[in-house]
């Protein structure tokens, strides 16, 4: 079974720009979560989608948004990039709540 895939793997953007990251979950998984990982803050929850509905959102500004499509694929968008947005963005998929989440390899975003 193919794992969670994320594209692109690496991205370099300039302050003020916007970026869209993509995630394809494991086949059959309908829940997709996004996390930000930085050396200082560790892994922090961004949001979770199930059947195209956002069910939970972390403490991030409105510049961070996401969506899920009918095939469970998900995208997250960050607008007006700031230097502090440089991080590894991880997507995880799960069959349902309380089941283990499987992570993708992440997208390394660098904002200059």
Partner 1 sequence: EDQVTQSPEALRLQEGESSSLNCSYTVSGLRGLFWYRQDPGKGPEFLFTLYSAGEEKEKERLKATLTKKESFLHITAPKPEDSATYLCAVQASPDDYKLSFGAGTTVTVRA
- Rounded least distance, CB 16 to partner 1, Å: 27
Sign of CA dihedral 27, 29, 30, 33: negative
- Toward partner 1, which CB reaches closer, 18 or 41? 41
Burial class of residue 76, CB neighbours in 10 A (0-12, 13-18, 19+): buried
Shortest distance (Å) from residue 67 CB to partner 1: 16
Task: Enumerate binding residues for partner 1 (CB under 8 A).
Answer: 4, 31, 33, 35, 42-45, 48, 50, 55-56, 58, 90, 92, 97-106, 108
Return d(Cα 72, Cα 60) in angstroms, integer.
23
Tokens of 28: 């059959």
Give dist(CA 81, CA 64) in Å, integer.
Answer: 10
In the complex with partner 1, the residue whose CB is nearer, 20 or 101, is 101
Residue nearer to partner 1 on the CB measure, 15 or 55: 55
- CB closer to partner 1, 47 vs 78: 47
* CB 41, CB 108: distance < 8 Å: no
Shortest separation between residue 33's beta carbon and partner 1, angstroms: 7
């Amino acid at each position: 079974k193919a794992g969670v895939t994320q594209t692109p793997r690496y991205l370099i953007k300039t302050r003020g720009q916007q970026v869209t990251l993509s995630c394809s979950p494991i086949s059959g998984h309908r829940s997709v979560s996004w996390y930000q990982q930085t050396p200082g803050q560790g892994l922090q929850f961004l949001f979770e989608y199930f059947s195209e509905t956002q069910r939970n959102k972390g403490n991030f500004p409105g510049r961070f948004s996401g969506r899920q499509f009918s095939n469970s694929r998900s995208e997250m968008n960050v607008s007006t990039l700031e230097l502090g947005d440089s991080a590894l963005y991880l997507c995880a998929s799960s069959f349902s709540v309380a089941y283990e989440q499987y992570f993708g390899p992440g997208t390394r975003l660098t904002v200059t």
